[in-house]
């Protein structure tokens, strides 16, 4: 695996592997797609927003690496199955990164049934649909890696994140179940639970919710992490790369926090 450059062993490579990244058109997903491609993977960029997916895939291609954009609604099983069948024509899928998801702000009382169902369809059923579409081919080709993006909201009591926390708790539970059921098929399944990550979504949320107080609220949200800042998408992508490469071949069934000390260093 890898090669020797200037006397050093080149580690954390995905040479010759095909990686599917859902929600790859922006934020964490885009950072993962770029990092994986720079490490040798042929990246399949899936996103509901096809122009965004094409932009990321185009940037990767301009760097001389391989990437293909696909329009995909992860909540629609028929659409997911069709996209994965097209990807699987003539190649296998080595890595699936389930990243596509939506946020929701609200307590139990002010979360409508429609909002609850929408969060479930994307954040829970969407992950199920994509894992279901690739698990059979992974088994038949001797294994693979599945990485799910969860959240510290799965384990921590965050205010006004009722539906979102529900969905990410389900992601962690599904991760454990898949890891256990497919041990003998050489399929590893882990998840990452980030604290707050600085993405365009965060900037948009602050601008919509706190007009005129953007700098104040950005600082407040940043300082919620004991380390004093939000994570960058690239930092999450670095952990994702490690968990999906051969150096992590002994790791499965684990929920990895990347939280700036949120759990253990508060107070």
**Parallel, antiparallel or unpaired: strands 4-5 and 8-9:** antiparallel
Q: Would you state the pLDDT for residue 1?
A: 43
Arithmetic mean of pLDDT, 82-98: 97
Q: Would you state the pLDDT for residue 11?
A: 84
Q: Would you state the pLDDT for residue 204?
A: 86
d(CA 99, CA 95): 12
Q: Would you state the pLDDT for residue 145?
A: 98
Lowest mean pLDDT among 46-55, 99-108, 184-193, 207-216: 207-216
pLDDT for 64-84, tens place per residue? 999 999 999 999 999 999 999
pLDDT at 189 over 90: yes
Q: Would you state the pLDDT for residue 5?
A: 46
pLDDT for 197-208, tens place per residue? 998 888 888 898
Binning pLDDT at 50, 70 and 90, where does residue 267 land?
low
pLDDT at 3 over 50: no
Q: Could you say which of 120, 164, 176, 205 is catalytic? A: 164
Lowest mean pLDDT among 5-9, 38-42, 59-63: 5-9
Q: Would you state the pLDDT for residue 209?
A: 84
Q: Would you state the pLDDT for residue 200?
A: 84
pTM for the model: 0.93
Q: Would you state the pLDDT for residue 212?
A: 93
Binning pLDDT at 50, 70 and 90, where does residue 16 land?
very high
pLDDT at 233 over 60: yes
Arithmetic mean of pLDDT, 171-183: 98
Q: Would you state the pLDDT for residue 146?
A: 99
Q: Would you state the pLDDT for residue 264?
A: 81
Q: Would you state the pLDDT for residue 47?
A: 98
Q: Would you state the pLDDT for residue 9?
A: 55
167 alpha carbon, distance to own chain's centre: 14
Lowest mean pLDDT among 110-119, 128-137, 213-222, 234-243: 213-222
Residue 164 falls in the annotated catalytic set: yes
3 versus 195: which is more confidently predicted?
195
């Amino acid at each position: 695996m890898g090669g020797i450059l200037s006397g050093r062993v080149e580690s954390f490579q995905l040479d010759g592997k095909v990686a599917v990244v859902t929600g790859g058109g922006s934020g964490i997903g885009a950072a993962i797609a770029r990092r994986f491609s720079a490490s040798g993977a042929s990246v399949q960029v899936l996103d509901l927003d096809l122009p965004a997916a094409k932009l990321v895939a185009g940037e990767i291609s301009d760097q001389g690496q391989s990437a293909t954009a696909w329009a995909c609604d992860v909540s629609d099983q028929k659409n997911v199955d069709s996209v994965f069948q097209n990807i699987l024509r003539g190649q296998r899928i080595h890595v699936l990164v389930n990243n596509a998801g939506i946020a929701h702000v609200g307590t139990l009382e002010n979360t409508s049934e429609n909002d609850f169902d929408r969060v479930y369809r994307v954040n829970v059923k969407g992950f199920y649909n994509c894992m279901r579409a690739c698990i059979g081919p992974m088994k038949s080709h001797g294994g693979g890696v599945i990485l799910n993006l969860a959240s510290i909201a799965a384990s921590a009591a965050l205010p006004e994140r009722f539906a979102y926390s529900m969905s990410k708790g389900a992601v962690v539970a599904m991760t454990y179940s898949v890891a256990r059921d497919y041990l003998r098929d050489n399929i590893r399944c882990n998840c990452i639970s980030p604290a707050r990550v600085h993405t365009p979504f965060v900037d948009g949320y602050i601008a919509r919710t706190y007009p005129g107080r953007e700098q104040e609220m950005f600082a407040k949200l940043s300082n919620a992490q004991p380390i004093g800042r939000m994570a960058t998408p690239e930092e999450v992508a670095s952990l994702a790369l490690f968990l999906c490469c051969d150096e992590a071949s002994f790791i499965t069934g684990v929920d990895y926090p990347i939280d700036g000390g949120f759990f253990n260093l508060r107070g």
